[in-house]
């Protein structure tokens, strides 16, 4: 698969004749990384698939409003992040997740999920991650699994580097504590 640079994609997006083709390239190039970002937040493949599709549909519908103030990938990531956070909020409001013990729900969900093949300790880690508030969960995943720099996370989430460092530190401490309690 030929990878297009961001500049090339933006040029193709500007013409009506090549806009759809350019968007197809965007879906090809970014679907995997966006999928994993979403999947680690919502755990279920079906939910992640729905949210990924919603992300691309929103991006397509608003593509003309992208003014290039930020990188295109940053814009795309922000849409995915907003979709995830809205989804998790709705999930909490509809009480599909036990607010006092979200990790217990995730444990049941993952144990019966055919698309989860982690061992016991990995299940415990996911349960501990599920106990974090959505934004803190996002920060932890971006830093721990994707090795993203605080500056990059700051661009995506619109939170200061200092606040992100504090958030990650608290997330690590909470996860360690929960893992110890589960042993």
Partner 1 sequence: MKEEDEILKRIGKRNPFKVPDNYFENFTSEMMSKLPEKEESVLKMKTHTLKMRLRPLYYVAALIIGAVFIIQFGFRKTGSTEKEGVITKTEVTASDRMIDELVDRSMLDDYSLYVYLSDADGE
Q: Is 31 in the site for partner 1 (CB under 8 A)?
A: yes
Considering only 8, 28, 89, 101, the residue that binds partner 1 (CB under 8 A) is 28
Q: Is 24 in the site for partner 1 (CB under 8 A)?
A: yes
User: Based on the number of CB atoms within 10 Å of its own CB, is 62 exposed (0-12), middle (13-18) or buried (19 or more)?
Assistant: exposed
User: Based on the number of CB atoms within 10 Å of its own CB, is 57 exposed (0-12), middle (13-18) or buried (19 or more)?
Assistant: exposed
Q: In whole angstroms, how far apart are CA 149 and each of 85, 123, 143? A: 21, 26, 7
Within residues 115-174, the interface with partner 1 by CB under 8 A covers 115-119, 121-123, 125-126, 143-145, 168-169, 172
Q: Is 39 in the site for partner 1 (CB under 8 A)?
A: yes
| Total residue length of the chain | 183
Residue number, 66 or 99, with CB nearest to partner 1: 66
Min. distance of Cβ 83 from partner 1 in angstroms?
A: 14
Min. distance of Cβ 133 from partner 1 in angstroms?
A: 18
Q: Is 14 in the site for partner 1 (CB under 8 A)?
A: no
Q: In whole angstroms, how far apart are CA 17 and each of 20, 22, 58, 59, 68? A: 7, 10, 20, 18, 20
Q: Is 60 in the site for partner 1 (CB under 8 A)?
A: yes
Q: Is 19 in the site for partner 1 (CB under 8 A)?
A: yes
Q: Is 53 in the site for partner 1 (CB under 8 A)?
A: yes
Within residues 81-100, the interface with partner 1 by CB under 8 A covers none
- DSSP annotation of 111: H
- DSSP annotation of 15: S
Instruction: Supply angle C-alpha 142, 40, 117, rounded to 5.
Output: 130
Q: Is 4 in the site for partner 1 (CB under 8 A)?
A: no
Min. distance of Cβ 125 from partner 1 in angstroms?
A: 5
Span near partner 1 by CB under 8 A; candidates 16-24, 71-79, 93-101, 156-164: 16-24
């Amino acid at each position: 698969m030929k990878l297009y640079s961001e500049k090339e994609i933006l040029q193709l997006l500007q013409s009506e004749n090549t806009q759809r083709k350019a968007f197809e390239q965007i879906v090809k190039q970014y679907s995997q990384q966006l999928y994993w970002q979403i999947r680690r937040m919502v755990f279920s493949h079906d939910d992640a698939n729905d949210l990924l599709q919603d992300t691309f549909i929103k991006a397509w519908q608003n593509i003309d409003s992208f003014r290039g103030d930020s990188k295109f990938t940053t814009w795309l990531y922000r849409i995915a992040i907003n979709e995830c956070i809205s989804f998790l909020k709705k999930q909490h409001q509809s009480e599909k997740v036990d607010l006092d013990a979200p990790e217990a729900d995730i444990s049941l969900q993952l144990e019966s999920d055919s698309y989860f093949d982690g061992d016991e300790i990995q299940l415990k880690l996911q349960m501990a991650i599920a106990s974090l508030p959505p934004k803190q969960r996002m920060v932890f995943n971006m830093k721990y699994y994707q090795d993203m720099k605080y500056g990059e996370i700051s661009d995506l989430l619109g939170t200061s580097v200092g606040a992100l460092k504090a958030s990650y530190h608290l997330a690590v401490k909470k996860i360690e504590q929960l893992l110890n309690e589960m042993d």
